[in-house]
């Protein structure tokens, strides 16, 4: 395959980008000055080289924000509410919630959602890693602060609802076996301030604040 087709193919795999837009990206780059295209290539390499995946919440961040190895600034911030964990699908969702200023707890990024007919959710999202996290955070022998609440903040789309069900059922199952129902953190979902079909990433701060306030 020639480099032009290969680049089109790569762009077409970007989130929200189809083959036609991918072709337009390539045409756009072909028309740019060499210096600008070189800068784009350099920046892509630089961002990738400086990106770290947080070993706790699994969001990506640039550099070592906290000074602690592989822990992002949110996870390392002792002032945040360590008793509340919010589960989101993607980094962009986390950023929208952060921007709303309505939430001060911790996060876990699933890395996507599970399509409705998918039989292997573990391959689509970090379900196993999440369950290990929850087990540790609710284990009275190892956790410094025990988890009181787990908030499922997923898009109100069919895939989002499906993922929320899978995650809730899996968490309930492991908690029933470890801490028992009475000591388990409550599991809440965002209220319907977020209308059906809504995507968290595009929700404004006011909507996120309302959805958080109306969680149940
Ligand atoms: Zn983190």
* Residue 142 C-beta-side C-alpha neighbours within 13 Å: 10
- What is the model's pLDDT at position 105? 96
Helices (DSSP H) in 32-114: which residue ranges?
Answer: 34-50, 73-76, 91-100
What is the pairing mode between strands 60-62 and 51-53? Answer: antiparallel
- Yes or no: say if 155 and 116 are a contact pair by the CB < 8 Å rule: no
- What is the model's pLDDT at position 65? 54
Q: How far is the CA of 55 from the centre of ligand 1 (A)?
A: 7
Q: How far is the CA of 95 from the centre of ligand 1 (A)?
A: 12
What is the pairing mode between strands 149-153 and 105-109? Answer: unpaired
Catalogue all structural domains in the chain, each as residue range(s) with its CATH number: 3-51 (1.10.8.420), 78-213 (3.40.1360.10)
Q: How far is the CA of 185 from the centre of ligand 1 (A)?
A: 20
- What is the model's pLDDT at position 121? 79
The three-class DSSP label of residue 150 is: strand
> Residue 107 has which token pair?
């996060």
- What is the model's pLDDT at position 192? 64
Q: How far is the CA of 23 from the centre of ligand 1 (A)?
A: 36
pLDDT in tens, the chain (216 residues): 799 999 999 999 998 899 999 999 999 999 999 999 999 999 999 999 999 999 999 999 988 655 567 899 999 999 999 999 999 999 999 999 999 999 999 999 999 999 888 778 788 899 999 999 998 888 777 766 688 999 999 988 889 999 999 999 999 998 887 776 667 889 998 876 666 667 778 788 878 887 888 787
Q: Cα(23)–Cα(83) distance, rounded to whole angstroms?
A: 47
**How long is the chain?**
216
- Yes or no: say if 194 and 207 are a contact pair by the CB < 8 Å rule: yes
Query: What are the phi and psi torsion angles at 192 (to 5°)?
Result: -80, 15
Q: How far is the CA of 28 from the centre of ligand 1 (A)?
A: 36
Q: Cα(94)–Cα(200) distance, rounded to whole angstroms?
A: 9
Q: How far is the CA of 106 from the centre of ligand 1 (A)?
A: 8
Q: How far is the CA of 2 from the centre of ligand 1 (A)?
A: 40
Q: Cα(134)–Cα(146) distance, rounded to whole angstroms?
A: 10
Query: What are the phi and psi torsion angles at 59 (to 5°)?
Result: -85, 160
Q: Cα(133)–Cα(210) distance, rounded to whole angstroms?
A: 28
């Amino acid at each position: 395959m020639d480099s032009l087709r290969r680049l089109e193919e790569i762009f077409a795999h970007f989130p929200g980008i189809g083959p036609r837009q991918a072709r337009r990206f390539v045409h756009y780059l072909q028309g740019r000055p060499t210096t600008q295209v070189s800068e784009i290539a350099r920046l892509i390499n630089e961002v990738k080289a400086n990106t770290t995946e947080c070993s706790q919440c699994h969001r990506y961040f640039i550099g070592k924000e906290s000074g602690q190895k592989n822990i992002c600034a949110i996870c390392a911030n002792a002032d945040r509410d360590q008793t509340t964990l919010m589960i989101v699908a993607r980094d962009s969702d986390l950023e929208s919630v952060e921007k709303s200023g309505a939430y001060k707890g911790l996060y876990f990024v699933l890395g996507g959602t599970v399509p409705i007919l998918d039989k292997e959710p573990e391959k689509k999202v970090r379900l196993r890693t999440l369950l290990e996290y929850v087990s540790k955070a609710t284990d009275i022998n190892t956790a410094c602060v025990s988890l009181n609440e787990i908030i499922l903040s997923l898009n109100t789309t069919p895939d989002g609802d499906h993922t929320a069900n899978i995650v809730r059922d899996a968490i309930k199952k492991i908690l029933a076996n470890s801490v028992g129902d009475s000591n388990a953190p409550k599991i809440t979902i965002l209220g319907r301030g977020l209308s059906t079909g809504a995507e968290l990433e595009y929700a404004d701060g006011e909507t996120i604040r309302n959805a958080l306030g109306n969680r149940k």
